[in-house]
């Protein structure tokens, strides 16, 4: 009877060892991190947008101060995406999230990412945001403006899929087909190396620019005149900002540490 009980643990040990012998795939780690400023880029250059748009009782000139949004899932792929092709690519999940967050609050660390060169990034957003803006005439008063990624309407839980590659950014329609959206929002290939952590920094706007409060402006039409933002009734229009500013920028740092200050 003792021999029988001894054989069972030995069998389990042999099974585990044999699995390790056959699993020869080398892996590394990938840190995906949202930041206000990409580290080590010495960002002294700033750009300003002159304003002077007069406020009226129901029209307010605003500075865009910050935004919360929901990046629900993030993936990378070794495949090179193309326009008008169905998304049947092989994706590796980096992380997932169910909350509205500021850009600098996003941080996902994925271990056991197979070695190799990755060509493409995919971000699945929920169609909801909260914009925080201040009056150009009163920068101490913050207005919270809930809405959707498409602006104007109230947010919802529908998903919006964006992919990024050297060709630019793509949206994915309801049939899973990719369409080029913005050639300026590029994502460069990167490598995962065994036992090292590669970092992808994710930033709003251009990678090499530190923006000021008055760089991004818009007009708020308070259509119901209640001095509070009403999704689907009020309107945010006449967006203005530095020319040729991308929505997102990405910078890859090979072998970076797993924790870097925001």
Range of the structural domain that residue 33 is part of: 28-253
CB of 148 within 8 A of CB of 154? yes
Query: In the prediction, which pLDDT does 5 show?
Result: 47
CB of 256 within 8 A of CB of 96? no
Residue 188 lies in a domain: yes
Rg (CA), the chain: 23
pLDDT profile of the chain (262 residues), mean per 10 = 48 45 74 76 31 63 93 97 94 96 95 95 95 91 88 76 96 95 93 93 90 90 90 90 90 63 34
CB of 109 within 8 A of CB of 29? yes
Query: In the prediction, which pLDDT does 156 show?
Result: 81
CB of 251 within 8 A of CB of 201? yes
Residue 237 lies in a domain: yes
Residue 262 lies in a domain: no
3-state SS of 92-159? EEEEECCCCEEHHHCEEEEEEEECEEECEEEEEEEEEEEEEEEECCEEEEEEEEEECCCCCCCCCCCE
Please enumerate in sequence order all residues whose Cβ is within 8 A of that of 92, keeping only pairs 6 or more positions apart, or say none: 75, 76, 77, 110, 113, 114, 118
Q: Indicate the DSSP class of residue 209.
A: -
Q: Indicate the DSSP class of residue 86.
A: B
Burial group, residue 158, by CB count within 10 angstroms (0-12, 13-18, 19+): exposed
CA dist 158 and 151 (Å) reads 14
Report pLDDT digits (tens) over 88-99: 999 999 999 999
Beta bridge partners of 31: 109, 199
Burial group, residue 178, by CB count within 10 angstroms (0-12, 13-18, 19+): buried
Report the Cα–Cα distance between both ends of the chain, in Å, rounded.
61
Count of domains for the chain: 1
Report pLDDT digits (tens) over 20-39: 445 567 888 999 899 877 66
CA dist 80 and 85 (Å) reads 11
Residue 7 lies in a domain: no
Residue 258 lies in a domain: no
Query: In the prediction, which pLDDT does 41 show?
Result: 38
What pTM was estimated for this model as a whole? 0.80
């Amino acid at each position: 009877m003792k021999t029988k009980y001894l054989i069972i643990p030995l069998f389990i040990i042999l099974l585990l060892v044999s699995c390790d012998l056959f699993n020869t795939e080398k892996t590394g780690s990938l840190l995906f991190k949202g930041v206000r400023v990409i580290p080590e880029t010495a960002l002294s250059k700033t750009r300003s947008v002159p304003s002077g748009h007069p406020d009226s009782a129901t029209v307010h000139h605003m500075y865009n101060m910050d935004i919360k949004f929901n990046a629900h899932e993030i993936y990378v792929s070794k495949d090179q995406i193309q326009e008008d092709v169905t998304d049947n690519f092989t994706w590796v999940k980096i992380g997932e999230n169910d909350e509205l967050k500021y850009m600098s609050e996003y941080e996902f660390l994925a271990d056991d990412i197979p070695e190799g060169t990755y060509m493409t990034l995919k971000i699945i957003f929920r169609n909801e945001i909260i914009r925080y803006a201040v009056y150009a005439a009163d920068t101490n008063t913050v207005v919270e403006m809930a809405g959707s990624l498409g602006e104007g309407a109230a947010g919802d839980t529908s998903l919006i899929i964006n992919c990024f590659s050297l060709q630019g950014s793509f949206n994915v329609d309801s049939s899973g087909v990719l369409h080029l959206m913005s050639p300026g929002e590029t994502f460069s290939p990167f490598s995962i190396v065994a036992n090292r952590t590669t970092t992808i920094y994710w930033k709003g706007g251009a990678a090499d620019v530190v923006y000021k409060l008055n760089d991004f402006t818009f007009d708020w039409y308070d259509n119901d005149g209640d001095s509070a933002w009403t999704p689907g009734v009020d309107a945010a229009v006449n967006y203005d900002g530095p020319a040729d500013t991308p929505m997102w920028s990405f910078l890859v740092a090979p072998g970076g540490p797993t924790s870097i200050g925001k």
